[in-house]
Amino acid sequence: RTVSAAWRLSKAETARLERLTREPLLTLPLPPSDSRNKIYRWGEETYLDLLKLSAATADDLAAALPLPEIRTLPISGQDLIDRGVPPGPDLGKTLASIETWWLDRDMQPARDTCLQELDRRLAQKPRNP
């Protein structure tokens, strides 16, 4: 924030700088699954910024290009609501756990598989009377 104030950065520039100081440099070359996961979590702009900084220290930018295809989680909160999960913290936690499961599988499971995993998890949850 001191740098941001001294350089008179905009709010967007300050947020970008803060993101860059929170995440570690990348160890290149990255497997495509790691690249996809990081782009999904951080966004392409932050990923590219960190990639460039990492390559500057490793002299290996070419090893990290081209960028892998990034997919979108094929289910949403509406799928949970459609299955009787009320809006609220439990819905968010359940969706986040499915997202983690999906990312751990390199974004490969399709919508049907994600819904099956969701149904399996919901069936294991204790019901409130």
**How do residues 46-105 score in pLDDT, each as one tens digit?**
888 888 888 777 665 565 566 677 789 999 999 999 999 999 999 999 999 999 999 999
Name the average pLDDT for the chain.
86
* Gap between the Cα atoms of 9 and 2, Å rounded: 10
Residue, of 63 and 120, whose pLDDT is higher: 120
Look up residue 52 and give its amino acid: K
* Gap between the Cα atoms of 47 and 45, Å rounded: 5
Q: Which two tokens stand for residue 92?
A: 């968010």
Q: Which two tokens stand for residue 52?
A: 């460039």
User: Is the pLDDT assigned to residue 44 strictly greater than 80?
Assistant: yes
Confidence band (pLDDT; 50, 70, 90) for 127?
Answer: low
For 125, which DSSP code?
S
73, 99 contact by CB (below 8 A): yes
